[in-house]
Structure 1
Amino acid sequence: MSVAEAVLYIVATPIGHLDDISQRAIQVLRDVAWVAAEDTRHSGKLLSHLGISARFLSLHDHNEKQRAASLVEKIKAGDNVALISDAGTPLISDPGYSLVRLCRDAGVRVVPIPGPCALIAALCCAGLPTDKFHFIGFLPAKSGQRQQVLKDIPAGVGTVICYEAARRIIDTLQDVMAVYGADRELVLAKELTKTFEHFEHGTATSIIEWLEADPQRCQGEMVLMIAPPAEKAADDIAPAVQQTLRLLMAELPLKKAAALTAEIHGEKKNALYKLGLSWSGQDE
């Protein structure tokens, strides 16, 4: 292989069930000169299971900036390198950003080997809106900082997704309730693709009760998903807001009238648009 063809592969690995690794990922891991891993001991077990003998280099939060430069030099010298994390897709709440950025700046080709990702696996099975979502990684460890992060999330971003450590999940659910209220719809996904995989749907209160009913439920990897706020029904929209919408609809297209009414009264544009549709007898 010529120097020009050497690349960095971003290789997704299983988040639980070992059979979820792709044939392409196995071939890449078998063929590369180096495997950069978050935890070489942990990843060594995976590769041993696959019957692969690899040359490992560690790349984690504490050494990434220093290690990235040497990896780029190896690639430029003709060695293919695969980057893997402990589980799932590298860079998604895992190390790798500095390395990929340095590769891009150095003109080194970066090739994705797609596969498992906990946030996508959780979202597609949660029964929450998937047309828009906002991933915030791991929340801060302290309650005040967690609540501030949640408060700072803009409106209209869709389903909010975060990862959380089992030891903090109840505290985090309490903070979610403090910021978004007791009625916000939530889904907690835990132990995805593993033996005790489970999706718990409800509110912060009901999920806390479910967790506290059995201490073993507060174990394992967790993904917390927060539904967007429910849109108001027409009966819940104040008469003054409805009057503004009617007046604007007389002069403007519905979409513009709904947007202006939402801005004036601080309401949700989609709810007003649907209300206007119902008045005009149109189908949504």
Structure 2
Amino acid sequence: MSGVKPLKNSSLPKQAQTLADGVTEDIPEAIRDIPALPVVSSGSSGKPGLFWKMLGLALVAFCTALVMNYQFGILAPRSDIPVAQTPIPVVTPSPSASLSSTPPPTSSPTPTTTPTLPDNLLGHLPYQEAPESELKSITADGGHRLRKAAAKAYQEMEQDARASGVSLVPISTFRSVKDQETIFFEIKAQRGQMATKRAEVSAPPGYSEHHTGYAIDIGDGGRPSTDLNVSFEETPAFQWLKDHAAFHSFELSFPKDNPQGVSYEPWHWRFVGDRDSLETFYKARNRKEN
């Protein structure tokens, strides 16, 4: 205890000095021998705060840089950032599934070609020339021929008319295209007629009903002066034909005001007693009307 000096201070009052001396004497020696701790200067106490401030600023700057890079790609382009892609499974169809899902091929219909015929000419319709093998004579001299069905029907009609006292006389029957050329062009030239005027009473070659073997010009045996004349309508033959021709499948080809515009021909009749004859004339008429 000799190492501890009593606290002396002249500035203290005497009573306080006495008390201090007493306290010193009461402190154990071990305690009194503890060395004094160094006093830390107040000037170094601000360094830890500055460190944390700098660290906080660095963290803020780092976070800001991350945000800017994410929004605008400042530090690195977005393409450099790997993106995880989920693989798309590929399903391979089985052969049976492929066959069932594939629609059967549809076959397009084969277009049918309709033979084209020339248009009407000067009001007359085109007709094909009857084959020679289909023609049959209706007179003893063989000068007048019709298709077999038409020839048979006309001969029966002529007999019925004769039984009624009427004489039917064939004037013109089947004509070839060559025959029609003579009738149309040569007579037109002889009379000095225009083609349109000639077509009113005679068809151009290739456009005459006489080519078919179904048409016939009929006269009155008792009135030959009316042959191929409008006055034929006043004869007994025409009156009988008007009342009875339909019973033998004959009809007037060019009545008054006919749609083809051909002059009225009371002597010109045609057979329409079977399918071929009916189609020959009425299909031709339908083509003109359409």
Same fold, judged at TM 0.5 (above): no
Q: TM-score, normalised by structure 2?
A: 0.20
Q: TM-score, normalised by structure 1?
A: 0.20
The structure with the greater share of residues assigned to strand is 1
Q: Which of 1 and 2 has greater Rg?
A: 2
